[in-house]
Amino acid sequence: MEKKSSLTHFASYYRRHWRLFVLDLISALLIAVIDLSFPLVSRYAMTTLLPGKLFDTFFVIMGVLVAAYLLKALFMYIVTYWGHTLGVRMEADMRHDLFTHLQKLSFSFYDKNRTGQLMSRVTTDLFDITELAHHGPEDLFVSLITIIGAFIVMLGINVKLACILIILVPVGILFALMQRKRMMRASRRVKERTAGINSGLESSISGARVAKAFTNEAFEVDKFMESNERFKRSKGEFYSAMGVFLSGVDFFTSLFSVVVIAFGGYLIMRGEFDYVGLITFSLYVATFLQPIRKLSTFMEQFSSGMAGFHRFRELLDEQPEIIDAPDAVALKDVKGDIVFDDVSFSYNDKTKVLRHLGLKIDAGKTLAIVGPSGGGKTTMCHLIPRFYEASGGRITIDGHDIKDVTLLSLRQNIGIVSQEVFLFAGTIRDNIRYGRIDATDAEIIQAAKRAEIHDMVMEMENGYDTQVGERGIRLSGGQKQRISIARIFLKNPPILILDEATSALDTVTEKRIQKAFEALAVGRTTLVIAHRLSTVRNADEIIVIDEEGVAERGTHAQLIGLGGQYAKLYNSQFKE
């Protein structure tokens, strides 16, 4: 059933391009008709026209054959160009579907899967689909027509010879089907090993500077060689299976020719056949064997293509853990009242990160969240936009359970700046505009000014068109952080989450950015996660979170007076 559904799913991608598909099949069919007609015309010329000295008719028919082969050349161009175009378009459709699906998957999926593995699914695994999509139906259809047509003509030439061939064909088909399964398994292993190499490459190239810093280049080479050896072994298994398959098919097709000559010669010896008939029959054997050889090539394409398609389907079958409820509504006119009502969460259903958290954040207020690493500060903030789903309790915004509103409207109303800054390869302008795709250049510049990076950008040779490099490698940590801050100024959401947002900035710039954040936070609900307690003293309220939950709560002055965990943390940072 899985195979059937996979084939049905694969076939569904022809629907959008059915005109090209029909054009390809018709052209391939006409090529087969022209090839089938040649031996018959040759036999007619040798048995009727030439012995009867009908030379004018003979040359007219030869001219018709030349015209037919000119048409065949045209049909070959259509099959080659438009047929491959059909395959490319189908591959592009599959890649679009896969990439769109990846955008819907939850954070937990990306926590468990490596980037290189996913890149391999989106790129390498689908490369063989182009050939399969083009040649698969065409080869099957034309081969079937050619085999049936050739066999019918051969029956008309000599029934006994034709029956000998039809007895041998099922043996060859049985052999091919047995070997196809082995090739399919080997091809899937090749795909998996290729994904492993891509994953290792992505990791090693991204960490090249770390490898050099620790002088571990040789170790990285050894790791790559290990995965490369696994790839070589799996590729060897595939070529071994393919070698057995192709050599077996070649043996059976060669055997057909030998049997035809041997049995045809025997019939001539008995006076039951003639030389012209045997020559014509031999021409049809060549026509008959051509689709069989084509089918052997198709088996190789099918094994590689469907192995990639199975891995494509496996990823499409991954379902996002967090989706909109059937009756979800858009979150509108957000004021920013946030309530954590008995909220619990764990990443693996074993170790609890949050336990029965109860917390109310009033609209327009700034809440600072401090505490030791691993206490759940970032996790708590990731639950608000539903990057992860709370395992117990509920979170509301303005009285609306966040599970009852659409993810799009929820996340549109929340802005996040984290300490782990990610910039896309492109220009500074593009990366700031990511905060609001339809922003004008003037709005981008204004956001950059508020993030204290405009002057620095203008000092660069290409200004806002400066390329940031892969993951922003051409910029300093502080510059990358300020670009990410500019995004939030551009997005201008009613709820802000600042997760160590100024951690990469120097003290002077941090103070300037802090003032900008305080201005932005006016009238907005703001959650600030910070280890530098100097950045949270002006917060409306501060909570200290540890493994047990909210340990302390109050203003800066209240918590200092309390003399608890916050006071100890503060004094350790600002002691004389």
Q: Which helix (H) or strand (E) holds 187?
A: helix 159-206
When pLDDT is cut at 50, 70 and 90, the band that residue 4 belongs to is very low
pLDDT, average across residues 383-393: 87
* Residue 530 pLDDT class (50, 70, 90 cuts): confident
Question: Residue 120 pLDDT more than 60?
Answer: yes
Following DSSP, what letter does each residue of 385-430 receive, concatenated? TTSS--SEEEEEETTEEGGGB-HHHHHHTEEEEESS----SSBHHH
Rounded Cα gap, residues 400 and 483, in angstroms = 32
User: What is each CA distance from 62 to 51, 65, 478, in whole angstroms?
Assistant: 16, 5, 79
- What percent of the chain lies above the pLDDT cut of 70? 86
pLDDT for residue 396: 92
- Tally the residues of the chain: 576
Structure tokens at 27: 């052209």
The C-alpha atoms of residue 384 and residue 407 are separated, in whole angstroms, by 11
CATH topology of domain 338-574: Rossmann fold (3.40.50)
**Which tops the pLDDT comparison, 535 or 465?**
465
- pLDDT value at 449 more than 70: yes
Average pLDDT, the chain: 79
Q: Average pLDDT of 509-516? A: 72
Query: CA neighbours within 13 Å on the CB side: how many for 417?
Result: 31
Three-class secondary structure of residue 324 per DSSP: coil
> What are 72-110's pLDDT values in tens digits?
889 888 888 888 888 888 888 888 888 888 888 777 777
Q: With residue 495 as reference, give the H or E element that holds it.
A: strand 495-499
What is the per-residue pLDDT for 130?
72
Residues 338-366: pLDDT tens digits?
998 888 888 776 667 788 888 888 888 88
When pLDDT is cut at 50, 70 and 90, the band that residue 199 belongs to is: low
Categorize the per-residue pLDDT at 547 as very low, low, confident or very high, splitting at 50, 70 and 90: confident
State yes or no: pLDDT of 3 exceeds 50. Answer: no
- The pLDDT > 90 percentage for the chain reads 1
Residue 120 contacts residue 231 (beta carbons within 8 Å): no
Confidence of residue 116 (pLDDT cuts 50, 70, 90): low
pLDDT at position 214:
57
Strand order in the sheet with 352-361: 352-361, 338-346, 392-397, 400-401
What confidence category does residue 550 fall into, taking pLDDT thresholds of 50, 70 and 90?
confident
Q: What is the DSSP letter of 527?
A: E
Query: Could you tell me the pLDDT band of residue 197, with boundaries at 50, 70 and 90?
Result: low
pLDDT of residue 2 exceeding 50: no
User: What local confidence, expressed as pLDDT, does residue 180 receive?
Assistant: 65
C-alpha separations of 450 from 292, 414, 484, 492, 503 in Å = 71, 19, 12, 12, 18
406-412, long-range: CB < 8 A, 24+ apart: 406/324, 406/328, 406/329, 406/330, 406/331, 407/322, 407/323, 407/324, 407/328, 408/330, 409/330, 409/331, 409/332, 410/331, 410/385, 410/386, 411/385, 411/386, 412/493
Sheet holding 495-499, edge to edge: 414-418, 495-499, 525-529, 366-370, 541-546, 549-554
Mean pLDDT of 422-442: 85
CATH number of 10-316: 1.20.1560.10
Residue 1 pLDDT exceeds 60? no
pTM: 0.67
pLDDT attached to residue 210 = 57
Dihedral of CA 7/10/11/12: which sign?
positive
What's the whole-number mean pLDDT along residues 559-564?
A: 85
Confidence check: pLDDT of 459 > 60: yes
Question: What is the per-residue pLDDT for 161?
Answer: 78
User: Which residue spans of the chain are classified as CATH 3.40.50.300?
Assistant: 338-574
Cα separations (Å) of 481 from 210, 325, 412, 418, 513?
Answer: 21, 35, 21, 9, 11
Over range 378-384, report the average pLDDT. Answer: 87
The rounded distance, in Å, linking the Cα atoms of 125 and 307 is 8
The predicted pLDDT at position 576 comes to 45
> What's the whole-number mean pLDDT along residues 254-270?
79
Q: Where in the chain is CATH 1.20.1560.10?
A: 10-316
Please provide residue 375's backbone torsions phi and psi, each rounded to the nearest 5 degrees.
Answer: -80, -15
Task: Give per-residue pLDDT as tens, 204-241.
Answer: 655 665 565 556 667 767 766 777 777 777 777 777 77
